[in-house]
Amino acid sequence: VRTVRTVDEIRALSRSWKREGTRVGFVPTMGALHEGHLSLVRLVRSRCDRTVVSIFVNPLQFGPGEDFDRYPRDLDRDRSLCEGAGVDAVWAPSPADLYPEGFATAVEVEGPLATSLCGGSRPGHFRGVATVVAKLLLAVEPDVAVFGQKDAQQVAVIRRMAADLALPCEIAVAPTVREPDGLALSSRNAYLTPAERSQATCLKRGLDAASALFAAGQREPRHLLGACRAALESSPLARIDYLALVDAATLVPVEPTLSRPALLAVAVFFGRTRLIDNALLSPSE
Ligand code: PAF
């Protein structure tokens, strides 16, 4: 696998591939790669000839007091996982490559898409995400970029931004990859103590409880949310950050009953570690 650093290098490499008539796919990451990221790579490889993975812990999307400093970083390990997964290029820019002296531009998606849910708990987070993803996409110029469904709101924000800026890139989504006990894979799972780790299954149990009620015909948000809340509250170490049932496209809360595809989204703190997960509830017509 080839490793490149600067915007100019990755753009030149991607353009050289395109001149050969190959399709370029892109997986943006913050490193600390796990099976979830590798599933994104597999999706790209099934659809493109060349795969680029970026590894960059983006300071702009972390708030004060968040885990930017302790976020796991191991480029050699990530690079060998990419090698094993058949990635063609790892792009590992430095902060100075992406945010040179005097950098003063931000990309901001407005409204509930970026201010609800995680945007409420992490002010400025999606501004940081949109800004870096715009830069990454403009540098790699991929045909397809793939993101994980676990970060459903991130997907909604990026889709909006890509449409609004007419970025010539398809945004594709891959399903959430889970541990055998249901916990969604996340680089932040590494922060959990053994006791927190065993209780962290409450997110998936809550989503499953609500999905089962939904499958049985329940369409009232308070009952669906109540079933999820009960599972979360059965874990004494879990502190609910938010629990919401929102329209899957607009992220506006579902009222008064669920009649269009909806996203049941949860964020839970275990100590300082914040985990998120979601389930799509789609009424068939
Ligand atoms: O999902 C992530 O890892 C990050 O938010 C992303 C998309 C790489 C932007 O920094």
pLDDT in tens, 69-96: 999 999 999 999 999 999 999 999 999 9
- Are the beta carbons of 224 and 218 closer than 8 angstroms? yes
Known catalytic residue at 37? yes
**Ligand 1 interacting residues, C-beta cut-off 6 A:** 28-30, 58, 61, 129, 132-133, 151, 154
Answering whether pTM is above 0.75, one says yes
Dihedral sign, Cα of residue 98, residue 102, residue 107, residue 112: positive
Residue with tokens 């970025």: 167
Closest ligand 1 atom number to CA of residue 54: 8
Closest ligand 1 atom number to CA of residue 29: 8
DSSP state of 183: P
The predicted-structure confidence for 224-247, as pLDDT tens digits, reads as follows: 999 999 999 999 999 999 999 999
- Whole-number Å distance, alpha carbon 238 to ligand 1 midpoint, is 25
Residue to substitute in 26, 27, 29 for testing ligand 1 pocket (most ligand atoms within 8 angstroms of CB): 29
pLDDT of 115 higher than 90: yes
Q: At 83, is the secondary structure helix, strand, or coil?
A: helix
The predicted-structure confidence for 174-224, as pLDDT tens digits, reads as follows: 999 999 999 999 999 999 999 999 999 999 999 999 999 999 999 999 999
Percent above pLDDT 90 for the chain: 99
Of residues 122, 129, 123, the one with CA closest to residue 107? 129
192-201 contacts: CB < 8 A, separation 24 or more? 192/270, 192/273, 193/270, 193/271, 195/237, 196/237, 196/270, 196/271, 196/273, 199/235, 199/236, 199/237, 199/238, 199/270, 200/235, 200/238, 200/268, 200/270, 200/275
Q: Which residue's CA is the nearest one to ligand 1's atom 5?
A: 129
Residue to substitute in 146, 151, 159, 276 for testing ligand 1 pocket (most ligand atoms within 8 angstroms of CB): 151
Q: What are phi and psi of 161, to 5 degrees?
A: -60, -45
Question: Amino acid identity, residue 103?
Answer: F
The predicted-structure confidence for 24-49, as pLDDT tens digits, reads as follows: 999 999 999 999 999 999 999 999 99
What burial letters (b/e) apply to 8-25, b meaning 16+ CB within 10 Å? ebbbebbeebbeeeeebb
- Whole-number Å distance, alpha carbon 252 to ligand 1 midpoint, is 23
- Are the beta carbons of 68 and 94 closer than 8 angstroms? no
Of residues 174, 148, 150, 170, the one with CA closest to residue 159? 170
Q: Which of 34, 37, 125, 223 is catalytic?
A: 37
Name the band, by pLDDT with cuts 50, 70 and 90, for residue 284.
confident
Residue to substitute in 27, 33, 52, 58 for testing ligand 1 pocket (most ligand atoms within 8 angstroms of CB): 58
DSSP state of 191: G
pLDDT of the residue at 285: 55
